[in-house]
Structure 1
Amino acid sequence: MSIRRIIPAEDDVDSLCYFLRLPQVISMCMAFSLVASMGHERGAIGDWCLGIWCLCFIMTFFISMFECFYCDCKFPFFWYKLPITYACYAALLCLSTSIIYPVFYVQYLPHGPSRDRAIAASAFSCISCVLYAIDVAYTWKHYDFKTIPCYVHTLPGLLKILESFVACVIFVFLSNTSLYLHQPALEWCVAVYSICFVQVAVAMLLRLGGWENRLPLPLRIFHLGLTTLSVLLYVSALVLWPLYQFDEKLGGQPHWDSDMSCIGELIDYGCIWDQRLAVAVLTAINLLIYMVDLVYWTRQVSVGTEELYCLHSQGVSLQSSAVP
C-alpha cells in the first residue's frame, strides 16, 4: 500500500515539495561554490560551512532523483520518514551557517572579492534555510501523522534532533583545534561532545530503522541510561570548558580584549575568544535539552513501573478471590 492511498492531500504536498527541490539545490550549489572558490582564505569555520552546504546539496539532489524515479514503487513508508527528517536538519543547519559564517568569519574579511563572495554565500544559505523551513512546515500541516507515525513529530524525536543539531554547531567551532589541543581537560570536553553525539545518532538510527525491539533491555530503560550518561558527561564539560577557557590562573582569557585575535587583523579563525564563549553557551543549552529528555524518560519509566505494579496487584487479587 502506498502513502497516496492513505493521505488524500499527499499529491498537493508532493507538488510543493517537488517545486522546492530545484531552488534548494541551486541555493546550496551557489553557496558552496562561492566559498570553495575562495581557496585557502576560507578558514576552519569556512571549511565546516562549506561541508554543510555540500552535504545538503548532495542529499537534496539524491532525494529529488529518488522521488522522480523510484519513490512511487519502492519503500514508500521508509521514504516518508526520510525527507521530513532531513528537511528538519537541513533547515537548522542552514540557519546555523547563516548566523555563524557572517558573525564569526565574514566580518573579519577585508573588503574585496573574497568578502563579496562570502556575503553572497551567506545570502544563499539564508534562502536555503527559508526553503527548507517551508518544506517542513507545509509537510507537517498536510500529512496525517496519526495515520503514519513519524519520529520527528514526537517529543523524544524533536529532542534528539535538537541535541544532535547543537552538537553539530559545537563541532563547527571545535574545528579550530587551537581551542583545546594540548590541554587534557579541554580535550575531555571534546570527547564528551563526540560520545554524546554518537549516542544520539545510534538512538535515532535504531528508531528510524525499527530495530528498537531487538535491544536486550526495555526501550525506556535503554533511553534513560543513555540520557543519564549524557547529562553527567555534559555537566563535566559545562564545568571544565569555562574554567579552563576563562580562568586566568588555568591559562584562560577572562576578557574579550585580552585575546589579540579579536582586536588585530584578519586571521583564519576570526575572534577565538568569541568561539570559546559560543561553545560554553551551546554546552549549557544542550545540557538543558538533555535534562528535558531525562525528565521525559524518567517519567516514562515511572509510568511503566506503575503499570506493572497495578497489573501485578490485579493478578494477586484475582488469585486471592479464586481461592475457596
Structure 2
Amino acid sequence: MPLIVLPTSQLLWVRVAALLFTCVAFSVAAHGAQLHHGGMADWCIFCWAFSFACTLLVLLVEQFGLQARAPVSWSNFPITIACYASLLCLSASIIFPVFFLKDQRLCGDTRDYRIASTVFSCLAAVAYMGEVSLTKARPGEVAGYMATAPGLMKVCQTFVACIIFILVSDPVSYDHYAALKWCMAVYCICFILSMAVVVLCVGEYTGCLPIPFSKFLSGYGLLEVIMYLTAAILWAVFQFDKQYQRSQASSKLITVAVLTALNFLLYVADLAYTARLVFVSA
C-alpha cells in the first residue's frame, strides 16, 4: 500500500505555523469577538483570511509538486505573498487591539476572544517574517527579483501607499489645494509603477518591456524619489503651516506625513540598491 511522505523542512513548518495562526485569528474573531461589519473589523478579518488562503495555496502547490505548472514565477510568488502577509498581519495586530480592546467595556468571553485573536495575529506576523527571512536572497545567491532587497522594498512601498489611501480618503483631506492633489497623484502614480514591477516579476513578464528591466528600474526609481520628495514637502507645508491650515491637524494627517516620509526613504534605498546592482555589478 503506497504511502504519501511529506518532506519536512524549517520553511515548511514556518508556513504551517503561519497557516494555523491566521486560521485561529479570524475564526476566533468571527465566532465570539462580536465584531460589527464594516470598517477596521472587516480589514482585520481580510488580513487574516487573505494570508491564510494564500499560504494554503503555496503549501498545496509545493507539496503536490505543481510549481512548474503554476502560471507565475515560483521563485518570486511565495516570498511576495509572505511579505504581504507579514505586513497585513502586523497591521491587524496593531489595529485590532487599538479599535477593539482599548477603552472597550466588554464582558469576559468577548474580551477573551479578542485577546486571543490579537495574540494569534502577532504570532502569524512573526511566522511570516520568519518565512521572509528564510526565503530572501543571500549575498551571491541566484534568486528571483522579489527575493532581493529591492523586490521586498517594492512590496513595502505598495503596502504603505495603500495605508495612505485609506487615511486620506475618510475624510477626504487632499481636495483643498492643488498642491495636495499633486501629492495624491504622486501616491497613485508611484503605487501603480511599483505594483506593475511586482506583477511583471511574479508573472514573468519582464522580458516584454521595450527596454532592459534594469534600466527601467533605475529610470522609474529616480522619478519616484523626486516625486515623493515633492510630496513629502508639500504635504507637510499645506497641512501643517498655519497660513494654509484649514483646521487643527488630526492624527490621520500626521500619520500620512510620517508614511510619506517613510515611503520616500524606501524609494531612496531602493534606488541605491538598484544603482549598485546596475552600475557596480557591470
Alignment TM class, shorter chain as reference: 0.7 to 0.9
2:229 pairs with 1:252:
no
Counterpart mapping for 1:184-263 below 5 A = 185-248=179-242, 249-254=244-249
Q: 1:198 to 1:23 in 2, by over 3 A?
A: same
Paired residue type of 1:98:
S
Deviation at 1:148, TM superposition (A): 4.6
2:3 alignment partner in structure 1: none
2: CA distance between counterparts of 1:32 and 1:145?
Answer: 37
Match of 2:270 in 1: 293
The aligned counterpart of 2:9 is 15
User: TM-score, normalization: structure 2?
Assistant: 0.78
2:174–2:184 CA contact under 8 A, matched in 1: no
Counterpart amino acid of residue 89 in structure 2: C
Is 1:180–2:180 an aligned residue pair?
Answer: no
Q: Give the secondary-structure state (helix, strand or coil) at the position aligned to 1:217.
A: coil
* CA distance in 1: counterparts of 2:165 and 2:48, whole angstroms: 15
Contact 2:18 2:128 in 1 (8 A): yes
Q: Tell me what 1:149 maps to.
A: 143
For 1:115 and 1:288, the matched residues in 2 are separated by: 39
State the distance in 2 between where 1:26 and 1:301 align.
41
Distance in 2, Cα, partners of 1:69 & 1:210: 22
Please say if residues 246 and 252 of structure 1, whose CA atoms lie closer than 8 Å, have aligned partners that are also in contact: no
Instruction: Report the CA distance between 1:202 and its aligned residue.
Output: 0.9
1:88 equivalent to 2:83? Answer yes
How far apart are 1:81 and its partner, in Å? 3.1
Find out whether 1:125 has 2:118 as its counterpart.
no
CA distance in 2, matches of 1:136, 1:159: 12
More helix by percentage? 1
Tell me the matched-pair count.
272
- Of 47, 52, 64 in structure 1, the residue corresponding to residue 42 of structure 2 is 47
- Paired with 2:164 and 2:10, the residues of 1 have a C-alpha distance of 33
Q: CA deviation at 1:129?
A: 1.0
Alpha-carbon distance change, 170 to 107 in structure 1, aligned in 2, over 3 angstroms: farther
1:282/1:22 CA distance change after superposition, 3 Å: same
**Aligned equivalents of 1:117 and 1:55: distance in 2?**
20
CA contact (8 A) 1:29 1:54 kept: yes
**CA deviation after TM superposition for structure 1 residue 287, in Å:** 0.3
1:105-154 Cα deviation digits (max 9, x unpaired): 245542215655443322121010122223233445xx888565222342
Q: Closer, same or farther in 2 for the Cα pair 1:23/1:155, shift >3 Å?
A: closer
Say whether the 8 Å CA contact 1:106–1:119 is kept in structure 2. Answer: no
What TM-score, normalized to structure 1?
0.69
Contact 1:164 1:200 in 2 (8 A): yes
Query: Which whole-Å CA distance do the structure 1 matches of 2:12 and 2:276 have between them?
Result: 41
CA offsets, 1:59-101, max 9 Å, x none?
1122222233343774599334322232222223322332243
Distance 1:135 1:116, change over 3 A: same
Where in structure 1 do 4 or more consecutive aligned residues deviate above 6 Å? Answer: none
Q: 1:69 to 1:219 in 2, by over 3 A?
A: closer
Name stretches of at least 5 consecutive residues in structure 2 with no aligned partner.
1-5
Query: Does 2:19 align with 1:25?
Result: yes
Give the conservation status (yes or no) of the 8 Å contact 1:145–1:153.
Answer: no
Partner of 2:76, secondary structure, is helix
The percent of aligned pairs where both chains have the same amino acid is 37
Q: Which moved more, 1:236-245 or 1:291-300?
A: 291-300
Superposed CA deviations along residues 175-214 of structure 1, whole A, max 9, x for unmatched, are x511526535545433322221111111122233333233
Contact 2:73 2:201 in 1 (8 A): no
Q: Which residue type is aligned with residue 271 of structure 2?
A: L
RMSD: 3.4
Q: Give the counterpart letter for 1:196 in structure 2.
A: C
Q: Which has the larger radius of gyration?
A: 1
